[in-house]
Homo-oligomer: A and B are copies of this chain.
Amino acid sequence: MSFNSFGHLFRFTTWGESHGPAIGCIVDGVPPRIPLSEADIQPWLDRRRPGQSRFTTQRRESDQVKILSGVFEGHTTGTPISLLIENEDQRSKDYSAIKDQFRPGHADYTYWTKYGIRDYRGGGRSSARETASRVAAGAIARKVLEHVLGAPVTIRGALVQMGSHAIDRSRWDWAAVEQNPFWSPDAAIVATWEAHLDGVRKAGSSTGAVIEVTASGVPPGLGAPIYGKLDADLAAAMMGINAVKGVEIGAGFAAAGLSGEENADEMRMENGKVAFLSNNAGGILGGISTGQDIVVRFAVKPTSSIPTPRKGITKQGENVEVATKGRHDPCVGIRAVPVGEAMLAVVLADHLLRHRGQCG
């Protein structure tokens, strides 16, 4: 029921605004006796960190995480883990110009209508800066999965489309993902995306993207029908990331165009194990994991805050042309990749503990 908590047995609660003193989260329900230190969390935060290439916001944040509780002598104690990340590079005055303006396509307007008050500095609570907390919680979720299962679950993400430029899936190479600033699994498209993004930036515009995140090594049986389905929780997890407008599992929307024979993943016994001959299900049937790879895609809209003037209104009810000057990602989808991975990790960790609770 809490508005700022996610998950049930493995549960995190985030707090903080873009231009406050700090952001952070509490991760609750973590099993005890898992080795954990800041060094387990920091690398994942570093992947999401802004300012690492010319293609992301130039805000400079070191995003150093501190563990304030829940860990004793290098191990989790089963009590809540409080994580804190200080904000370092706020430039609130960038926002004084739009203090009374609502940017079209932005949460400015809806926060105002809902709460009657708005922290206009950098988007306040609606800023994507909050996703650093998700990434930190996701790092702990990965540790939980490995600890409980006895082997790591491989959770990876990639950008599969930028603007209208989609990758060629036949060239998919996970190794490539870490070798370009876009998390592209298709090395050949990188130059196209660079050119596209430079053009977008120069035009004072922005562009959208599609991200795919996958998990390998997930045991069958996770997810609890009817209202704790794994795919439903994943849909909420991804749709709740800033700027996301669509989520699909496995074949997703394309499944609508398939025949029953094409779509249903056939099964065979191979060496005494169940093998699927395809994965249109994206690893989930009836809301429960099948043991195949979990495959989730989500669409990120183009950043709403752009320098190009757009028609907006003010708090006082006047028409205005809004041009946003702050530092923004021209393609917020890029930095959503590690966030999507993190959300996949937390959903899986929660469902693993819930499944263990009910089914042993």
Contacts and interface: CB of A to CB of B under 8 A. Distances in A.
A163 B114 CA distance: 40
Nearest to A125: B79
Given A26-B13, A267-B311, A110 B261 contact: no
A80 B15 contact: yes
A327 B133 CA distance: 36
Given A16-B69, A26-B13, A210-B253, A261 B310 contact: yes
A47 interface: no
Given A28-B4, A269-B313, A312-B267, A256 B299 contact: yes
Given A28-B4, A68-B20, A357-B357, A33 B117 contact: yes
Nearest to A228: B3
Interface in A18-49: 20-24, 26, 28-33
Contact of A286 (B15, B110, B310): B110
A92 to B, nearest CB: 11
Contacts of A326: none
Contacts of A354: 1, 9, 357
Given A163-B257, A207-B259, A256-B163, A111 B286 contact: yes
A182 to B, nearest CB: 14
Contact of A356 (B280, B284, B288, B356): B356
Given A69-B20, A104-B265, A114 B78 contact: yes
A269 B126 contact: no
A185 to B, nearest CB: 16
Interface string A108-138: 0111011111110000111000100000000
Contact of A255 (B2, B257, B301, B356): B301
A17 B113 CA distance: 39
B240 A245 contact: no
A144 B268 CA distance: 36
Contacts of A236: 232-233, 235-236, 239
Closest 10 CB pairs of A and B: A107-B286, A105-B264, A357-B357, A206-B260, A246-B248, A110-B288, A232-B240, A208-B256, A235-B239, A1-B1
